[in-house]
Amino acid sequence: MKNILSKIVWLVIAAPAIYLAVVWNQLPEKVAMHYNLQGNPDRYGSKNELIGLVAILIGTNILVYFLLTNIYRIDPKKHAGENKERLRRIAFAVVVFVSLLLFLIIHSSLRGDIQLSMGIVFSGVGLLFAVIGNYMPNLKPNYFAGFRLPWTLENADNWRKTHAIAGKLWFSGGLLIAVICLFTPPLFSAIIFFTITAALVIIPFVYSYRLYKQQKISG
């Protein structure tokens, strides 16, 4: 799996730039450059600006990939190296998401669509949450990925139980976001997305803190 991901990740990163080059002459001179939460454009620009947007997101994609695949090297936690392959797969999922988002933006500009489907964007983020949730229970304590709280970092049992719960929540919550947001109006999709996302962050935090207090009392 490692060799396969390493070979195709750069193609996935470069694919939006290749697509932009192929359809460049077919793009209108004015394209939407920014969208609100309902998917309606609130700023337009020349198609030359689209090059800058694609370049920035591709650069961000490369930076995130390098960061996640190499961060174990500087992590002082003794088990950080065990996260290497898991973080590589999470990094690949992030790369795929950003590249697909760029494809969607370019394709919308090519078709002259006035509205970007935010339901598809939210659904994509939901699937990304589900992928991350799938790997959460197997993450070892580290300073860069997961719920890096003082009490989880200092107690291996707290870390393990917190990420076991968080993994199930992120996987199921991510799939729930993906399904609901794909078939609901933009405003409702946004409400659902931010509500569930808040729950995915708050619930594991509260659970880990309560576990910390219980362990402190019993200890």
The pTM assigned to this predicted structure is 0.76
- Residue by residue, pLDDT tens for the chain (219 residues) are 556 667 788 888 899 898 888 888 887 777 766 666 556 666 676 778 878 888 988 998 899 888 888 877 776 666 666 677 888 888 888 898 889 888 888 877 776 555 566 778 888 889 989 989 988 888 888 777 788 888 888 888 888 999 999 999 999 999 999 999 888 887 888 889 999 999 999 999 999 998 888 877 765
Q: Give CA–CA dist 85/16, Å, rounded.
A: 26
Q: Using CA atoms in the order 187, 188, 193, 199, what is the torsion angle rounded to 10 degrees?
A: 130
pLDDT attached to residue 111: 66
Concatenating the DSSP letter of every residue in 26-59 gives GS-SEEEEEE-TTS-EEEEEEHHHHHHHHHHHHH
Contact 67, 55 (CB under 8 A): no
pLDDT attached to residue 49: 80
For the chain, the farthest-separated pair of C-alpha atoms sits apart, in whole angstroms, at 69
pLDDT attached to residue 198: 95
Q: Give CA–CA dist 7/75, Å, rounded.
A: 26
